[in-house]
Amino acid sequence: MTDSALVSDREAFAQRLRTQIAARYRAASVEVDPAAFGIRVRDGGGATLLALAPLHQAVVRDPASAPRLISNFVASVEKQLGATAPLELSTARLLWCVRAGGDIEKLARSGDLLTHDVGGGLVAFVAESLPASIMRGVPRQEWEAQAVRDDDVRRIANENTGARFAPLVERIRRADRVPRDGWRIASDPMFQGSVLMVPAALRALCDLARGDVLLAVPDRGLVLAIAARLSGADRFARRVLREWREAMNPCSRELLITDGAQLRAVPRRSRRVPTLVMPWLQE
């Protein structure tokens, strides 16, 4: 890479981080400091310079981990700023985010998240969608500080997630054929698995399939689905396993099945499991 290309890349990188932090700390002034290769955050209490060189070098070394590295950096900004830039929660950006339960448990503040057990080891948690394909889990203390109740946050996340996938639901409803190898849904790199939290999407898939549908989230940006009645459904587990092993951001190798009203896990051995009724699907 030439010096000019490197400079250009660093400038674009800094602007991306500025957008993320400005969206998160709306009460503060957030500017790029080209000379220091950093982000300068100013508010009434003073200014803080966030150095970007270490993060940029880490991303250059491991491009595949860029989303995770950037997300962790944005999450760490709160500690660096302390009380100088107050957090402002935007409920319009709240969505359900689906990840493997084991990954969520590793988060430092996992106990503060509002979660929902999806099944098959998958867990949905309320997250805030930020610009440039970044998200963060929102701790309960943030909405409690605004006198917002858990039930309200759950309802808002349901509505926002449904609205995000409304175009997908319409495309499914307009479809006139059922692919023999199933559906590959990969239109949302950060929140694709959240489609499992959209009852209308599950119903639309089952209506099109004329029966039960098998689902999986092998990568956080990929949902696989197939009509359970098709002969190819017998090979679905192997396909999911292959996708999971080759995933850039692996999520889960587990299978789920839905009839449009219920969502339940499919164990690896017996492939039979008592029905797990999800309250939000009964609405």
Cβ atoms 18, 38 nearer than 8 A: no
- pTM across the whole model: 0.68
pLDDT of residue 214: 97
Angle between helix 150-164 and 166-174 (nearest 10)? 50
Give backbone dihedrals phi and psi of 217, rounded to 5 degrees, phi first. Answer: -125, 75
Alpha-carbon separation of residue 149 from 72, 156, 218 (angstroms) = 27, 11, 33
pLDDT of residue 82: 53
d(CA 158, CA 162): 6
Tokens 């950096």 belong to residue? 73
* Per-block mean pLDDT, blocks of 10 residues, the chain (283 long): 52 87 78 83 69 85 84 74 57 94 81 93 92 79 89 96 97 94 92 96 97 96 96 93 93 96 83 44 44
